[in-house]
Structure 1
Amino acid sequence: MGRLSARSVLLGLAAPVSALVFAGLICSLILALTGTSPGSAVEAIVEAAQRPRTTVIAINNATNYYLAAVAVAIGFRMNLFNIGVDGQYRLAAMLAAALAGASFMESLPSFLRVTLTILTAMVVGATWAGIAGFLKVTRGVSEVISTIMLNAIATALVAFLLNPDRMAVLTGNDIHTPEITEGGQVSGIPFPDAPPSATVHGLIVVAILVGFLYWFGLSRTRFGFDLKATGLSESAAVASGVDVKRMVFLSMLLSGAVAGLVGMPELLGGAHSYSLNFPAGVGFIGIAVALLGRNHPIGMAFAALLWGLLDASANGLEGNDVPKEILAIMQGVVVLSVVIAYELVRRYRVRLEQREVGRALGSTKVPEAVGS
């Protein structure tokens, strides 16, 4: 048992370590070919990470990325590819911002205003994802195609509604939803040695709670068991009495509800309105973070922090004459390396298990027939 445990640990470490080493070698080669010292790039990233302001930005970015990753991972657990997280969170953020900035909301208590804003975002995200779920269970439409198309529709819908004649106001050259007053905002958390303007989004606690509920729901509830069972084998799930269509639809609703939360930390803790400058593309980053974290709540947290740190270090790279585009290359190489490494290690583990079974069968003596 000790030997097997040690082997399991080594196999568990082999994938991430080999992926990081390979990614480092590829990025170093690319930097060298562009005439940039790999050591300078690493030094610039380390220097940027040590600045309190950069750390705050990295944590805030990671909060958004983590929520997006959990939304994606819920679908992944059922072999559903919710590519529409980006459209779901942007539409949810825009409509929630319009509600939160409405004049009638100012008469409500602060806690109720914030709660209504968050619930609105979750309902909008779940509804938009539910369209894809409904099409899949009733017409067999691939969720990949439908969510991609719904992303395009969401983009057009946001552009249509973000107009001074509809749900937006014009301030100078900036078009945005009405400003959310202080009673509808969520205060930030001060960070040591960081300037007062640089605070960690207060809704980071929501991201932590979502991560815990994701873990608890999957590993400690019947729903989580049914969800994972359906993802592993639909036929086996049906044989055990699981309503597969119901699970598909509910999973898309849950994924969309979490996607609706993605824009809330920035909306209520930083921007206080939805505008053309609101962060975009977070949903697609969530796919990469979910892959890096292997759909595990802790793994996705570390992956989100890594991604957030790389994004926050962009300005530091430019100050050290290192092209910031190298960060996008590094992120892509890391994701590709991790996916390939985990697949290779998985195949090697399966091969080892097959050999173990072969040895066990080969060493088992078949009893002689009675009377022979």
Structure 2
Amino acid sequence: MTAKRRNLLDALPRSVVILLSSLVAIVIALLICGVILLVTGKDPIAAYRTILETGATGTKLLETLKRSTPLILSACAVAIGFKMNLFNIGVEGQYLFAALIAAESATHISAPPIVHVTVVLLIACAAGAFWASIAAFLKITRGINEVISTIMLNFISLSVMQWLFDNYMRDDSDGGLRVTTTEIKPSGRIPDIVSGRLNGMWLIALFVVFCYWLLVFRSKFGFRLRSSGLNSTAAQTAGIAANRMIIVSMLLSGAVAGLVAMQSVLGEEYAYGPQATPTQFGFAGIAVALLGRNHPIGIVVAAMLFGFTDSTSAVLQLSGIPNSIVKVIQAVVVITVVIVNEATSRYMNHRTAEQTAAALRAEKVGV
């Protein structure tokens, strides 16, 4: 890097450098994906043109927002853990467990629509928080790494849910092959913003993002959370209770995770079922959180990027490009962004160290 170019980078604010690095990473990822398409005998320019032309329509934009909703919630759940230096890989199990409990609870509640929906959402949060609390308890009492415990809890969650569903909660009254819980009453359903296109859960997801920003970046609790994540030893020295922060952050992460499937349960299917409730949002949320650098705006943009590529996958298939290429594009984007972000972080840390050293030298000269 030349001295002129280095001076230009040094003059840029940290936020601008981070934004530029993310844009560069996405461009690099698209170039890599273009090479992959060429190797498989496809025209990358035609593929990207199809994605842009299709995604620019009003229908696809609404579908993008709809598909981004569970990803926003999942990424927020993961990001809360990341800020505490906890890797909550159990969002998948937490939201599926919460979906079953919330769907079954909703069928036994009789209340006005707003109250009914609010109570069910709170039940979903409580169920997700409960499942996440197991990993927190194991970490603070037995020192078990949360990655290991949450992975195992994902499998346990699926088994427990299958047992509960098969023995106590399934509704076979219609005799169909697609078995679910009893259908939720109209008062317990979240209405659509645009009929059949965009559910009201999207607004709730944006509200959760706002609360995440307010709590993590603009509150005393958020300062303690981030301090504990950056340096737990220094945080404890400053009087911050590490174990308490682990418990609270995992509970909050699990509570947000509990909302991930609510668009499906309360806004689309009006029930829970093994075939009706979507999976894999927990793992996709990790990718979205990494891509968005755990920042509220970054999470929303990254979730919409994933929703955008997912919404155009069907059109790509009609053009002869397999659906799997969309997943490849998403994976390459995430990997590239993570690598570039790591390089950027190292550069920024080095720049900060140099600036601090220069300031100290200037202070000594002044003395």
Secondary structure in structure 2 of the residue aligned to 1:176: coil
Q: Distance in 2 between matches of 1:360 and 1:244?
A: 34
Q: CA deviation at 1:11?
A: 2.2
Equivalent residue letter for 2:307: G
Q: CA deviation at 1:112?
A: 2.1
In the alignment, what sits opposite 1:356?
355
* Structure 1 unaligned blocks of 5 or more: 191-195
Q: CA deviation at 1:52?
A: 3.0
Q: Distance in 2 between matches of 1:92 and 1:148?
A: 17
Q: Deviations over 1:96-121 (max 9, x none)?
A: 1111123xx2x422222212211111
Aligned residues: 358
* Aligned counterpart for 2:160 among listed residues 151, 157, 160: 157
Q: CA deviation at 1:7?
A: 5.6
In the alignment, what sits opposite 1:324?
323
Contact 2:181/2:272 (8 A) holds in 1: yes
In the alignment, what sits opposite 1:242?
240
| TM-score under structure 2 length normalisation | 0.92
Secondary structure in structure 1 of the residue aligned to 2:294: coil
Contact 1:61/1:308 (8 A) holds in 2: yes
* Aligned counterpart for 1:20 among listed residues 26, 39, 46: 26
Q: How does 1:39-58 map to 2 (within 5 A)?
A: 39-58=45-64
Secondary structure in structure 1 of the residue aligned to 2:169: coil
* Aligned counterpart for 2:269 among listed residues 268, 271, 277: 271
Equivalent residue letter for 1:186: I
In the alignment, what sits opposite 2:257?
259
In the alignment, what sits opposite 2:138?
135
Equivalent residue letter for 1:331: Q
| TM-score under structure 1 length normalisation | 0.91
Structure 2 residue 281 is the aligned partner of structure 1 residue 305: no
* Structure 2 unaligned blocks of 5 or more: 1-6
Q: Distance in 1 between matches of 2:308 and 2:365?
A: 60
Larger radius of gyration: 1
* Aligned counterpart for 1:176 among listed residues 180, 186, 192: 180
Contact 2:18/2:341 (8 A) holds in 1: no
Q: How does 1:328-347 map to 2 (within 5 A)?
A: 328-347=327-346
Q: CA deviation at 1:228?
A: 0.7
In the alignment, what sits opposite 1:193?
none
In the alignment, what sits opposite 2:204?
206
Q: How does 1:21-100 map to 2 (within 5 A)?
A: 21-100=27-106
> Could you say if the C-alpha distance between residues 352 and 97 of structure 1 is closer, same or farther in structure 2, counting changes exceeding 3 Å?
same
Secondary structure in structure 1 of the residue aligned to 2:179: strand
Q: Deviations over 1:49-95 (max 9, x none)?
A: 13333222221111110000000000000100000000000010011
Q: CA deviation at 1:269?
A: 1.0
Contact 1:98/1:168 (8 A) holds in 2: no
Contact 1:311/1:327 (8 A) holds in 2: yes
Q: CA deviation at 1:12?
A: 2.6
Contact 2:180/2:272 (8 A) holds in 1: yes
In the alignment, what sits opposite 1:215?
213
Secondary structure in structure 2 of the residue aligned to 1:189: strand
Secondary structure in structure 2 of the residue aligned to 1:169: coil
Contact 2:96/2:261 (8 A) holds in 1: yes
> Could you say if the C-alpha distance between residues 168 and 216 of structure 1 is closer, same or farther in structure 2, counting changes exceeding 3 Å?
same
In the TM superposition, structure 1's runs of 4+ consecutive aligned residues that sit over 6 Å from their partners are none
Secondary structure in structure 1 of the residue aligned to 2:258: helix
What is the CA RMSD across the aligned residues, in angstroms? 2.0
Equivalent residue letter for 2:86: L
Q: Deviations over 1:182-212 (max 9, x none)?
A: 121111012xxxxx4x331112221111111
> Could you say if the C-alpha distance between residues 98 and 122 of structure 1 is closer, same or farther in structure 2, counting changes exceeding 3 Å?
same
Contact 1:40/1:322 (8 A) holds in 2: no
Q: Distance in 1 between matches of 2:327 and 2:279?
A: 15
